[in-house]
Structure 1
Amino acid sequence: MRHFLLLLFALILSWSSFSQNKEQLSQLSFDALLDTIQKYQFSDIEKALDAAEAYTLKGKRENDKEKEWLGMQSSILVNVNFRKYKLANEQAENALEFVRSNKLPDLEMQVLLLLGDLHGIVTTVDQQLFYYNELLQLAEKKNDPSYREYALTRIARVHDISGDSQKALNLYKKSLEYFKHKPLDSLYTQIKKNSTLVILYSSMALAHLKLEHIDSAKLYNLEIKKFQEKELDSCYGVYAYLLEGEIAYEEEKFDEARENYEKAYSICPSEYDLMALNKAYALGKIEVGAKNYKRGIEILQSALDDYQVTAAEEGFMRDYYEKLAEAYKNTGNYEKASFYYEKYLVSKTEYTKLKEDAKESFLKRERANFKRDFDAVVSEKESSKSKLNYVLLGASIIVLILLFLLLKFYRNKRANEIKFRDLLAKIEAAPTPDEIIDTKDAVLEEKNTSDVPEGTKQQILSGLKKLEKQEYFLKQECNSYNVAKKIGTNTSYLSKVINSHYGKNFNTYINDLRINYTIIRLKNDVIFRSYSIQSIAEEVGYKSADSFTKYFKKDTGLNPSFYIKEIKNIA
C-alpha cells in the first residue's frame, strides 16, 4: 500500500513529463490508473486521456480484453466530459469493432448503449434508434432482460423527444414493473435497484410535466422521496429535490423552487461544466419567473460565457436562450434581447428538426417492419415473382395505409365535432341534468319486482332521489351495498327497483349520474376545466383516469380532453 501511494504521489508531482511516456505509465496498477482518470476526468483532459490510454495499453500487454475495453471506455467518457462528442463517437465505433472481433457480447451491449446515446448528439435520431434496436435484438438473443429494459427506456426517451410522451410513459411503466420485481443478486444489489427505480420514477414524472399532468408528477415525486432514507448510489438523492424544484417552478412557487434547486446541487457538487450550466439555468429561470430580471441575467449570462456552447449542443439550448431574451427585454436591453431571441429561434428550429427526425425515424421503422413482414408472407406464397414487384406492392400498400389513416383521422375529428354539437344540444334540451345521458341496458340483472312490496319500492325511489340531491354518487365508496344501507333496504331489492324503474343496472345508473354531473360542471366551471383528467376523475368518484375516460367516452362518444378543449373554444 505504501509503495502504491509513493508511486501515485510521484506521478502527480512529475505530471509535466507524464504524457511523454505512456509505456512507463502503464507499469502502474490498474487501480492507480483508474484513480488518476477519475481525479482528472473533468479538470484536465490530457492527464485523464493519458491515464486511460495507459490503462488500455496495460490491458493489451497483459492480454486482458476486458481491461483493454475499460481503458477504451474511459477515453470515450473523458472526451464526452470535455464535449468532444465526434471524437468520442469515433472511439465508440472502434470499440464496437473491438468487442465484436473478440466475441465479447456483454461488452458489446455496453458499447451499443453508449453509441446510441452519442448518436443522439452527433448524427441523427435514426442512427440513435439503430443502435438502441441493435442492443434490443442482442439482449433478446442473449436472454438478458436487464439490457432489454435499458434499450426500451432509451427508446422511450426518444419517444418523449418526438412529442409522444404518452408512449414514453407506457414503456417506462413496463420497465418499472420489471426492475421492481427483478431478484437481487451480486450485480443487481439493493442499492442498484433503488437507484434504478429513482431514475425511472424521475423520467415518468418529467414526462407527466411535459403533458402538464402536475398531479401525476407529484405522485411520482412522492415515490422518489420514499427512497431518500434508503441506500442509493451517490448523487441519486438529488432527483427528489430537482423534481420538487421543477413542480414548484411550474406552480410559480419561486422561493420553494429556488430552495429545492439549491439543495439538489449542493448534495452532489461536480466539476462537470454541463452541471454548472444546468444549475445556472434552473436558478436563472426562477429569477426570470419571479421578475428579478437583473439577477436572472447575472446567473444565466455568466454560466453561458464560461460554458461556450458547441454546435452540436445548439439544438438543446432553446429554453436557455428564451429566458435570457426575456430577461434582457424586461431590463430594456433590446440589443441583447434581440440577439438571444434570434439564437432561441435558431435553437428552436434545430430542436423542432430533432423532434421531426424522431417522429420520422419511428415511422420509417414501422414502415420497414411492415414491409419486412409483408415481403416474407408474399415470398412464401408467390416465390416466382420478382423482388421488385414485392417492393412496389409493399410501397403501394404502405401509401394506401397512410392515406387511410390520414382520412380516418380527419373523419374522426369531424365525427367528434358532430358528437360535441349533439351533446350541447342535449344539454340545452334536457329539463334536468340527469336526463342528458340516460343509458338503457339491454341485459338487466333483476328486472322482476313482483316480490318487492310497493311501499318498499317507493321508499327506495325516494331514497335514491335524496342521495342524488346530496350528490352521494360522487363519492368513491358509492356502491350498491352502501347505497342500500343508507336507504334502509337490501342490495337485491335495490337492484330490482333500479332495473325496473330506470331500465338500467346499478353501475350504469351511478355512471350516468357522474357523467351528467361532469358534463355540466365542465361546461360551467372554468377552474374545474383546468384540472388534470386524473383529478377530475377523483372529483367525480372514479379511482383512476382510465375508468373515468372509458365511461365518459361510452356515454358521450368523446374523450374528456376533447370535450374540455371544445368547451374552452366556445366559452
Structure 2
Amino acid sequence: MEQKYTSALNEYTLAMKQSLEENNTDVYLKSLSCIATVYDVFNDNPRALYYYNKVLNTVDRNKHSDLYSSTIAKMVVCYCNANDIRNAKKFLELQKKYPQSDKRKHTYLLLINQGLIASKEKKTDNAIIIYKQAIQFVRRNMMDGIYAAPIFNEIGAGYMEECKYDSALAYYKECEAIAERQNLYGYLSDAYQSLSDCYMKMGQEKLAESYKNKYEEICDSTFSRGKINAASNKLLMAQEEESDKKMMRLADTVNMQFLVILIFAVLVACLVCTICIILRLYRKQMNSYKLLIHKDEEIEALSAPHPVKAINNLTAQQADELIKRISDVIGNDEMVFDSDFSLARLSQEVGSNTKYVSMVINETYKKNFKTLLNERRIREATRRLRSDGEYKDATMQTIALSLGYNSATNFIIAFKKIIGMTPAVYKNIKKGSDSEAFDYDE
C-alpha cells in the first residue's frame, strides 16, 4: 500500500518460505498473489501471470472466495498491461461472476477494469465516462486517496489521447496532489511522467524537463531495477530450495513405495499387476527426465542460422558475409567466454556496427544477441557438466566464471531458462542415466 515494491517482494518471499514450512495455505496463496502484483507493477507480465495462475490452480474457490475473486480482478489488469484484450475480457466476465464479499471494493475494481479495457480498445470517450463514474463512486463512499489517484491519471491519459491538453493537465495535477500528500511514490512517478509528456505537448519545455527530472529521480530511488533483480534472485533461490526439497521427498516416497510393493509382491501374487503398473509409470518418469537432458543437443539445431536474405541497406551477399564473420566469432571459445564480451565487441570484431550486427542476428537466427550468447555458453556448460575431465569436480561458481558469467546465480537462471532445470539437477540426473538404455518409444 505504501508502494515500496522491492521491500514488499522481499517480505512476501519470506512469508512464502515460512508458510510452506508451517503448511499455512492461506498465507502461501496470498503471498503468491501479491508477488504477482509486484511483477505486474514492473511490467514483467509473463512472470506476474505465472504466479496468478499458480494461485488460481491451487486455491479452493469456496474456502478462499475473496482471494480467488481479487486474483481474477488483478489478472484483468495484467492482461491489459500485456495488451491481451481477449483474455482481459474473459477474466472481466469471471470477475463479474465471482464478486468479492466487500461490495464496495468489488464495484470499484469492476469500474477500473472496464475503463482500462475501453482505453486499450481505443474507446477513449467511453473510458473517460467510466473513470469519472469511478471517481464519483470513490467520493460518494469516502474511499482513501490511493483509490482515486490512479483514476485521475487514467482520465488525464484519455484527454491526452484526444489532444485536450488543458483537461489532461488538470487531472494529472489531481493525481500528483494526492500522491504527494499520501507519499504514494508509485502513483507520484506516474504523475510526474504524465505531466512531463503533457507540458511537452503544450510547448512548455522547461516545465516538461523539470517533471522529467523528478520522474527519473523517484524511479532511481523507488523503482531501482538492480534492487528488484536482487529481490527476484532471493525469490528464485527460495523456490529452488523448495523444489529440491519436494524432489527429495518425492524420491524418498517413491523408493519407499517401491520397496513395500516389492516385498508384498513376493508374498501376494495378485499384487504383481500393480507392481508392473508402478514400474511402468516410474520408467516413463525417468524417460521424461532423460528427454529433458537431451534438450541441450537440440539447442545446437535451434542455433543454426536461417537462409540469409537482403536486410534493409544490406544486400544478401553482404548479410551472408557478415553472418559468417559473426558465426566465426561466436565459435571462438576464448572470446565468447570472456565476461566483457558484448554486442559492441562483437561488432568491432566483425568490422561492422551494432545496428547491422543486431539486425542480421535477429533476422538469421530469429533471436537477439543476448539469447544467442546465452545458448552458446549454456551449450558449453552442458558439455562440461557431462565431462569427466577438468570440470568433473568443479563448483557451479567455477563453471559460471569460466563461461563469462559474473555470478553463479546469473548462470543458474540462464541455464534453467534454456535447459529447463538447474545445473545441479542436470548433473545428478545425467550421472544416473549415462549407463541406462534410452527408450524413445516410451
**Structure with more contact order per residue of length (Cα contacts < 8 Å, sep ≥ 6):** 2
Give the TM-score of the pair, scaled to structure 1: 0.39
Report the structure number with the largest CA radius of gyration: 1
